[in-house]
């Protein structure tokens, strides 16, 4: 029992040490590009997309293998405890004329036996134990469906690649928005600290003025309320910041028990876009979803060709090579005794080779109109895909108009809020100076601080909206992959 307790103690100590090591690991610092690169390599969506590509490559090779020789081998060892009795006619065996009611007597072949002796069939036709081994080879010579299948498998591989690109675009879009949300919250935390420091200084000055009789106690209370509100809001944003980083880690498939720091500054972010160049270079084919639909249409065209090919002849060749032997006992099947007379009924017979070769031509003649209606169904599916193209183009056009409108509105709002924040900061500074010089009131200072805080919140909300609008604009014009994806 002591040894058990000792082992348990060491295991628990080892687990605690590992946990402490994980908790004390230094946080890694990631830029936006590094977050995107990490997510592309590690997110579950992208990993599954890569696996789908590998499946597609294997399917191509599987289809190619259909046209290669198909070789199989078999070995069969059989023991028949009771063989069936064989009867026949002289005409059947030797060409003598005889009636069907007159079976061949066994004495015709075994003079030492009487006609009414119940001689088992193995005495002449086969022995109780048999062993055979063969190799069968089949080779497809002509099959139009196989040729169409080769093209379809290649198109399926292309579809997996295009789908991976589409998933990559969605992953990058998610990472960009989550990174900017966390980065902006991080900057807002700094502003809260500055605002708290400024209001705290104001509170100390107000308390000093109140002590000296130059300010009322209500001024102190009003300033204290403002400070308490800032501290409470800062605590809320701290929790929101932690949550926003956790969301980013989840989308990256980053270890949730490890710390992650953001390496970037909003001063480095630009929301400027040349819409004229976007519109000038625009093409539907730059969109990954459009490319996926194009590949699906190619696959559907191949399905139609495959239905036509189902009515074409199929030519194949086959060969069968093998050896067989028989024996009165099962163990003698695996004996190497070479030359025992076959008709003696005893001992082991030697291996006898056999072979066959042939060609098969399968010509479909009539399938009950099944192929006709199958072909009709595939053509209707192609029409549905063509309708999807029309719907996708209309949807993309609408998405572009919405993205352009949202981007223009968000940029205009951002510029306005940036200007308002600058004005509010100047008003707060001037009001504080006037209050310190005794020509302003405390309520004016508190109101100015509140207006400054509100303008800062509005600015950062407008900044995030502008960044999201720019990301949506890049997605609408198919610019995300060329801009952010390295490969």
Each residue of 161-212: pLDDT tens digit? Answer: 999 999 999 999 999 999 999 999 888 888 888 888 888 888 888 888 888 8
Final residue of a structural domain among 344, 362, 380: 362
Highest mean pLDDT among 182-191, 334-343, 358-367, 416-425: 416-425
Answer yes or no: are the C-beta atoms of 262 and 183 closer than 8 Å.
yes
Which CATH number does the domain housing residue 161 bear? Answer: 1.20.1600.10
Does one domain contain both 296 and 199?
yes
Does one domain contain both 178 and 238?
yes
CA end-to-end distance (rounded Å), the chain: 59
Residue 105 lies in a domain: yes
Burial of 215 (0-12, 13-18, 19+ CB in 10 A): buried
Confidence of residue 342 (pLDDT cuts 50, 70, 90): very low
Does 93 score more than 60 pLDDT? no
* pLDDT value of residue 325: 82
Residue 8 lies in a domain: no
* pLDDT value of residue 115: 43
Q: What is the mean pLDDT of the segment spanning 72-100?
A: 63
Q: Could you list the residue range(s) of the whole structural domain that residue 405 is in?
A: 25-66+145-308+370-484
Residue 177: which H helix or E strand, with range?
A: helix 144-211
* pLDDT value of residue 468: 94
Q: What is the mean pLDDT of the segment spanning 424-447?
A: 85
* pLDDT value of residue 213: 80
Rg (CA), the chain: 43
Q: What is the mean pLDDT of the segment spanning 44-70?
A: 90
Highest mean pLDDT among 188-197, 207-216, 332-341, 453-462: 453-462
Residue 333 lies in a domain: yes
Burial of 16 (0-12, 13-18, 19+ CB in 10 A): exposed
The count of structural domains within the chain is: 2
* pLDDT value of residue 26: 63
Confidence of residue 105 (pLDDT cuts 50, 70, 90): low
More confident residue, 454 or 116: 454
In whole angstroms, give the CA distance from residue 439 to residue 433. Answer: 9
* pLDDT value of residue 134: 92
Buried-exposed string 257-267: b where 16+ CB fall within 10 A, e elsewhere: eebbebebeee
Does one domain contain both 323 and 206?
no
Q: What is the mean pLDDT of the segment spanning 223-234?
A: 89
* pLDDT value of residue 176: 94
In whole angstroms, give the CA distance from residue 448 to residue 142. Answer: 86
More confident residue, 367 or 140: 140
Does one domain contain both 30 and 167?
yes
Does one domain contain both 53 and 160?
yes
Residue 9 lies in a domain: no
Residue 16 lies in a domain: no
Does one domain contain both 297 and 159?
yes
Residue 13 lies in a domain: no
């Amino acid at each position: 029992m002591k040894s058990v307790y000792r082992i348990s103690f060491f295991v628990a100590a080892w687990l605690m040490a590992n946990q402490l090591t994980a908790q004390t690991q230094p946080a890694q610092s990631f830029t936006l590009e590094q977050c995107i690169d990490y997510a592309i390599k590690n997110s579950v969506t992208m990993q599954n997309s890569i696996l789908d590509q590998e499946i597609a490559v294997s399917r191509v090779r599987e289809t190619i293998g259909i046209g290669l020789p198909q070789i199989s081998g078999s070995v069969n060892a059989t023991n028949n405890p009771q063989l069936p009795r064989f009867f026949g006619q002289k005409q059947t065996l030797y060409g003598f004329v005889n009636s069907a009611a007159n079976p061949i007597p066994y004495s015709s072949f075994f003079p030492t036996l009487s006609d009414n002796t119940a001689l088992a069939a193995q005495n002449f036709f086969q022995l109780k134990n048999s062993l055979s081994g063969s190799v069968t080879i089949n080779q497809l010579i002509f099959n139009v469906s196989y040729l169409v299948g080769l093209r379809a498998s290649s198109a399926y591989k292309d579809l997996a690649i295009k789908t991976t690109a589409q998933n990559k675009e969605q992953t990058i879009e998610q990472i960009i928005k989550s990174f900017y949300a966390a980065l902006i919250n991080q900057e807002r935390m700094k502003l809260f600290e500055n605002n708290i420091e400024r209001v705290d200084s104001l509170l100390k000055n107000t308390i000093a003025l109140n002590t000296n009789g130059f300010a009322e106690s209500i001024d102190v209370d009003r300033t204290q309320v403002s400070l308490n509100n800032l501290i409470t809001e800062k605590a809320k944003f701290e929790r929101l910041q932690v949550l926003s980083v956790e969301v980013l880690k989840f989308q990256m498939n980053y270890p949730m028990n490890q710390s992650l720091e953001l390496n970037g500054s909003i001063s480095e972010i630009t929301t400027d876009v040349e819409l004229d160049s976007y519109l000038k270079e625009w093409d539907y084919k730059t969109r990954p979803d459009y490319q996926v639909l194009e590949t699906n249409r190619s696959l559907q065209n191949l399905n139609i060709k495959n239905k036509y090919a189902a009515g074409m002849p199929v030519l194949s060749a086959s060969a069968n090579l093998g050896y067989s032997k028989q024996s009165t006992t099962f163990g003698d099947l695996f004996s190497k005794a070479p030359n025992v007379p076959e008709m003696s009924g005893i001992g082991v017979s030697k291996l006898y080779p056999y072979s066959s070769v042939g060609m098969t031509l399968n010509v479909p003649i009539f399938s009950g109109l099944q192929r006709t209606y199958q072909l009709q169904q595939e053509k209707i599916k192609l029409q549905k895909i063509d309708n999807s193209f029309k719907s996708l183009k209309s949807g993309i056009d609408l998405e572009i108009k919405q993205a352009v409108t949202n981007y223009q509105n968000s940029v205009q709002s951002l510029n306005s809020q940036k200007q308002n924040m600058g004005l509010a900061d100047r008003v707060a500074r001037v009001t504080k100076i006037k209050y310190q010089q005794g020509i302003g009131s405390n309520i004016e200072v508190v109101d100015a601080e509140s207006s400054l805080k509100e303008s800062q919140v509005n600015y950062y909300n407008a900044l995030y909206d502008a960044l999201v609008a720019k990301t949506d604009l890049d997605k609408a014009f198919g610019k995300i992959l060329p801009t952010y994806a390295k490969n």
